[in-house]
Amino acid sequence: MPELPDVEIYRKYLQSTAFNQKIVKADFYCPRILHDITERRLQSALRGCRFTAAERHGKHLFAALDDTKWLVLHFGMTGFLAYYKDPDKQPSHVCLQVAFDNGYYLAYDCQRKLGQISLTADMESYIKKLGMGPDAMDQELSFSTFKDRVANGRGMIKSALMDQDRIAGIGNIYADEILFQAGVDPKAKAGRLDEDRLRAIFRKTKEVLSTAIDRQAHPEDFPRSYIIPRRQAGAACPKCDGSIEAVKVSGRTTYYCPKCQK
DNA sequence: ACATTGACCTGAGAGC
DNA sequence: TGCTCTCAGGTCAATG
């Protein structure tokens, strides 16, 4: 689930729930999710601290601990956050549970355990180390930077959009939506697209992602012209009288309308 | 340089 | 009802 819009919603959720409360305890339930850090070190980094800020870069969430270090959360395919007081509200695949002094808990839940939890003193260098490109929603991201990063190579445009090293934050389903809204064939060669199509993709990237954030990433609340709520082969295209087809692009199932996307 | 495949994990849903 | 099969919104490494 968690692509840029979902992680942005988690960021706001964290901000509006767990901020500025003292952490009294942290419990870990799946060691494999820890990345380059031991349970002990993370435990001692968390205890006694408060979450004081939350930033997002691509699909990564950075939660500041007393403004001195960052808890880094990546959600894999199935991760999410939950804040609750009643232990009955605890979700079923908790990997990390933080207890606060007000009696509430914050859980990082990840059913398939494909996410990662880490710690860093410096967010910028962490991002750099991972080789991530600029965030897709970064206000500073200009068309020319976007073009330089995305419109090169012989690969397909959908793969380029999903490549976190080029632009961070776009995953399988939002790549499909962006290309559907831009009217571009997901298999088109990234390096062969003309200026107009690239501009359309750039514009739709911002538009689709911000629309998704506004709608809380609930597909049922997306505009009627969106393809995301209709991700099945044979579904009616929301823009023409054709129908949606499923194909594989870089191994990922891709839904698109062959009539609208050339 | 790029596409493809399989691996990492677990569970939901389809089909029988 | 229960079994088996396929698939899932992410990423990485190995292979062609």
Residues A99 and A73 in one domain: yes
Q: pLDDT for A219-228, tens place per residue?
A: 999 999 999 9
Residues A8 and A126 in one domain: yes
Contacts of A16 (CB under 8 A, 6+ apart): none
Nucleotides of B under 7 A from a protein CB: 1-6, 8-11
Whether CB of A112 is under 7 Å from strand B: the answer is yes
Sign of the dihedral through C-alpha A118, A132, A107, A47: positive
Where is the domain boundary, A130, A161, A185?
Answer: A130
Distance from CA(A4) to C1'(C15), angstroms, rounded: 31
Residues A150 and A212 in one domain: yes
Protein residues contacting strand C, judged by Cβ under 7 Å? A 1-3, 6, 58-59, 74, 76-77, 112, 114, 130, 162, 164, 171-173, 217, 219, 251-253
The whole model's pTM is what? Answer: 0.97
Where is the domain boundary, A108, A130, A152?
Answer: A130
Identify whether A95 is part of a domain: yes
Q: pLDDT for A32-89, tens place per residue?
A: 999 999 999 999 999 999 999 999 999 999 999 999 999 999 999 999 999 999 999 9
Residues A185 and A219 in one domain: yes
Residue A90's pLDDT band, with cuts at 50, 70 and 90, is very high
pLDDT > 70 fraction of chain A, expressed in percent and rounded: 100
Identify whether A69 is part of a domain: yes
Single-letter amino acid, residue A52: T
Identify whether A261 is part of a domain: no
Identify whether A138 is part of a domain: no
Structure tokens at A26: 């942290």
Q: What is the overall mean pLDDT for chain A?
A: 96
Nucleotides of C under 7 A from a protein CB: 7-12
- Residue A43 sits in a domain whose CATH number is 3.20.190.10
pLDDT at A1 over 90: no
Residues A124 and A15 in one domain: yes
Q: What is the distance between the alpha carbons of residues A90 and A105, in angstroms, rounded to a whole number?
A: 9
Identify whether A211 is part of a domain: yes
Residues A158 and A73 in one domain: no
Q: What is the pLDDT of residue A163?
A: 97
A249-259 mean pLDDT = 94
Q: Point out the nucleotide closest to A5 (alpha carbon to C1′).
A: C9
Alpha carbon of residue A243 to chain centroid:
28
Q: What is the pLDDT of residue A12?
A: 98
Q: What is the distance between the alpha carbons of residues A117 and A36, in angstroms, rounded to a whole number?
A: 9
A100-107 mean pLDDT = 98
Identify whether A77 is part of a domain: yes
Residues A61 and A101 in one domain: yes
Q: What is the pLDDT of residue A52?
A: 98
Q: What is the distance between the alpha carbons of residues A8 and A43, in angstroms, rounded to a whole number?
A: 25
Structure tokens at A130: 């991972």
Q: What is the SS3 assignment for chain A?
A: CCCHHHHHHHHHHHHHHCECCCEEEEEECCHHHECCCCHHHHHHHHCCCCEEEEEEECCEEEEEECCCEEEEEECCCCEEEEEECCHHHCCCCEEEEEEECCCCEEEEEECCCCCEEEEECCHHHHHHHHCCCCECCCCCCCHHHHHHHHCCCCCEHHHHHHCCCCCECCCHHHHHHHHHHHCCCCCCEHHHCCHHHHHHHHHHHHHHHHHHHHCCCCHHHCCCCCCHHHCCCCCECCCCCCECEEEEECCEEEEECCCCCC
Identify whether A135 is part of a domain: no
Q: What is the pLDDT of residue A224?
A: 95
Identify whether A228 is part of a domain: yes
pLDDT at A149 over 80: yes
Where is the domain boundary, A130, A163, A187?
Answer: A130
Q: pLDDT for A232-244, tens place per residue?
A: 999 999 999 999 9
Residues A8 and A115 in one domain: yes
Count of domains forming chain A:
2
Residues A160 and A124 in one domain: no
- Structural domain of residue A23, as residue ranges? 4-130
- Residue A150 sits in a domain whose CATH number is 1.10.8.50
Structure tokens at A245: 């087809």
Residue nearest the C1' of B2 (CA based): A155
Residue nearest the C1' of B3 (CA based): A250
